[in-house]
Structure 1
Amino acid sequence: MATNEEGSMRIRTEPESTVPLENNQVIAETGEVTGSGGTSNAALLVEIQKLRSELIATTEDNRRKQEEMLQKLKSATEENMKKQEEMLQKFETKMEEMKKGMSEKLQSNEVLTSNDNSEKSGNIKNVSSSKSVKQFKLKHVFKDVSNFAENVMYYGEREDHDNVKWYIGVKRNNNHLSFYVYCAPFAPADKWSLQTKLEYKVVVEAKVTIVETTGLGKKKIRTFDESQKYFSDVILVVRDTKFYVSKMFLAAQSSVFKALLLGNFSESKQSEVALNGIDPDDFHYFLEVLYGESAIDDTNVEDVALLADMYETPTAIRKCEEFLLEKSKMTREKKLEIAIRYNLERLKAFE
């Protein structure tokens, strides 16, 4: 006969172990379970363990994302502070330069007014003082100076400054030019004087128009005269000079020549075609470049570039660009001027 102790379910448990819990952790410890409830308890344990793993993974992922966001925010803040410091430094440097420039101008340009003359005429003296500063510029453009009459004074526009009328005068004397600065008070007192420091600046501009040149061109490398008649099928006439050339060759080099010599224009049927508005020497160098000669130098590069742009010849344009970039002794400003005027794109990039 079984006793109550023998018939009852026997459950044996292992000693519990203590594990410190971290944030958001769930730990379930259990001993060995025997009897009919063992299967459900094991499944529950597996589910709990799974949830624990997912919770730990989620927590670690959130922590990592937060650290990344904090790092990005820190980097952005440091970069912004660096930019602000650079801007502040530039501003302070600019202010120092402005202060220095203003100080120099105030020291070098000073005008004093006082009354110390016993006559009504005015005296102008070259002096400097630091008591009062009044500065201005007189400017006037005198045109056609070469036709000025002898010993005749030509005046610029009047300007009013400090109750005084100021103006510039120019006079031609024995093929020399004399410059004057005049002042006339509006209401002079019995005694008056005006002390100034004058600084003169003369700007000369000469407009040159070349109508025609003869015998100034450099030595020709290639000939396009009647000796080339056998190899040509058209004659291009520039002023009184004839150039014996090939229609097909020029048409392949230039879209303008292609339309003119092979298109529907009347010139395509003519044995001689006149080209107006260009110089024969310039056209000769232009043809030499098209025929592969090294004909460009600092004396004719602008003329060749003009014709290259006019007749739309990529080969000549490229040769002009290469010369200006690699060999020319011209100033950078002059090169850029030619590039802009005649559409030399490679040089425009250096603007």
Structure 2
Amino acid sequence: MLENLQAVEKLKIAVVEELKADNEKTFDEMSDRIRSMEESISKLLKLNKGAQKSKDVSEKNDSTVQTNNTTNVVPEKSVLLKHVFNNVDWYQNDVIHSSEWEDHFNVNWRMLTLRRNKQYLGFFICCDPIAPPEKWSIELKVECKVDGRNQNCVIRAWERCHKTNEAQGISMFLEWEEMKHWYLVDGNLSVETKVTIIETSGFKKEKIRHVRCSNCN
């Protein structure tokens, strides 16, 4: 009986020792995992801090560029011409019809229309400096819009370099029958033209350049 009790006691001690060893092993494993997680978190925090710093620098640079761009914007020099040409359906072939002269930037401007070869509507811009030097040039970008019935409209754009006061434009701006059907309202034609000055030369300020264009030699 005593031997049995001693055997049970030894077994209990062995079990307790085994449990303690397992607990110590589990504790060590948990400690290692916690230490590894702390190291990973520390690395992530450093990476996030570096990324935020780079982002702040980038945003600062973008802000500087935006400010510089805004500061260096050159104001656009443009003219808006509007006119209603009356009785267009009665135009005779190659007879010029014009709007009134308008003075903008010391230059007189007007629009011209005519019927070409009985098949087309021609549209032109004329610019005439008020006090022109011996040699001068004005390079233009032209955007012409014709408003018609039922909210129809047509827009044509082109660039020209004017060195004389002769009109320049598009001789076949619209087919005549198309123009009569879609754009005449009670025989009248409403035209709105935006003329942007790209470059001038020969005037008091020898050369004022806004946009480069290859049409002017």
Please indicate the TM-score interval, normalised by the length of the shorter structure: 0.3 to 0.5
Larger radius of gyration: 1
Question: Which structure has greater helix proportion?
Answer: 1
Question: Which structure has greater strand proportion?
Answer: 2
TM-score (norm 2): 0.41
Return the structure number with greater relative CO, CA threshold 8 A, min gap 6.
Answer: 2
